[in-house]
Amino acid sequence: MPTPPKTSSSKIIAAARDLIGEPGLDELTMQAVAHRVGVRGPSLYKHFADRAALLREVETAVVADLEAVMIQVPPSLDDLSALRAIAAAYRTFAREHPATYSLIFGLHSGDAAAEQARRRALQPALQRLESYLGNREAAFIRARVLTSFLHGFVSMETAGAFRLGGDIEQAFQAGLALLLCDTARK
């Protein structure tokens, strides 16, 4: 009878995510992950071919977690309020998980599962933008602009790059207002 596994893919992914948040992505090794889950290094290769394969799975899991926080926006909200809530959820997620959040745009592995997760994560904002703008093509363009703004803003915010003073929350809200204003509904 084969011996039961001492760990699982989900435990390995969770350990890798924890380690990315501590010493950082560059310090993540298969040996460190193995130590974290209490197995010998070679045991990980039963679950993942290599570090890159593990990181692709971590990337997919992080994108799925981002989607999970963005879909919690109450469906009863009007489109504009929902878009603001989605943006706030995105920002909160990135601020609470800066190291793993950076994988979303840092790795961009091109893995089919990660790309599918990205598409699902974009859906809440894209659907609300389409409803708000009344045009699917305009919604897709605006979704790209909104994603660029959110990523740039939270990346600068988590890096401590807003050092010139002023109210950061006010700046965030002003940026959203510009992106979502009625006069830009084209």
Whether 27 and 112 map to the same domain: the answer is: no
| DSSP letter, residue 182 | G
Do 93 and 38 sit in the same domain of this protein? no
Q: Is there a contact between 102 and 25 (Cβ–Cβ < 8 Å)?
A: yes
- Residue 164's domain is classified under what CATH number? 1.10.357.10
Please report, for the chain, how many H helices and E strands are present, in that order: 9, 0
> Within this chain, do residues 30 and 111 fall inside the same structural domain, yes or no?
no
Would 53 be classed as within a structural domain?
no
CA distance 123 to 186: 20
Domain holding 2, by residue range, is: 1-48
64 with 36, same domain: the answer is: no
Q: How far apart are CA 74 and CA 89, in angstroms?
A: 12
Same domain flag for 138 and 91: yes
124 and 148 in a single domain? The answer is yes
Structural domain includes residue 7 = yes
Give a yes or no: residue 54 inside a domain: no
Q: What is the pTM of this model?
A: 0.84
For the chain, the domain total comes to 2
88 is a domain residue = yes
What pLDDT is stored for residue 126 in this prediction? 92
- Could you give the CA distance from residue 97 to residue 99 in angstroms, rounded to a whole number? 6
Q: State whether 63 and 122 are in the same domain.
A: yes
CATH label of the domain that carries residue 33: 1.10.10
Same domain, 68 and 97: yes
Q: Are residues 44 and 128 in the same domain?
A: no
Per residue in 10-22, is it b (16+ CB within 10 Å) or e — as a string? Answer: ebbbbbbbebbee
Whether 135 maps to a domain, the answer reads yes
Residues 69 and 90 in one domain: yes
Position 3 scores a pLDDT of 46
Give me the tens of pLDDT residue by residue for the chain, a chain 186 residues long: 554 567 889 999 988 988 888 777 887 889 999 999 999 988 889 999 999 899 888 888 888 999 999 899 999 999 999 999 999 999 999 999 988 888 888 766 677 877 888 888 889 999 999 999 999 999 999 999 999 999 999 999 988 999 888 899 999 999 999 998 855 444
93, 146: one domain: yes
Co-location of 89 and 163 in the same domain: yes
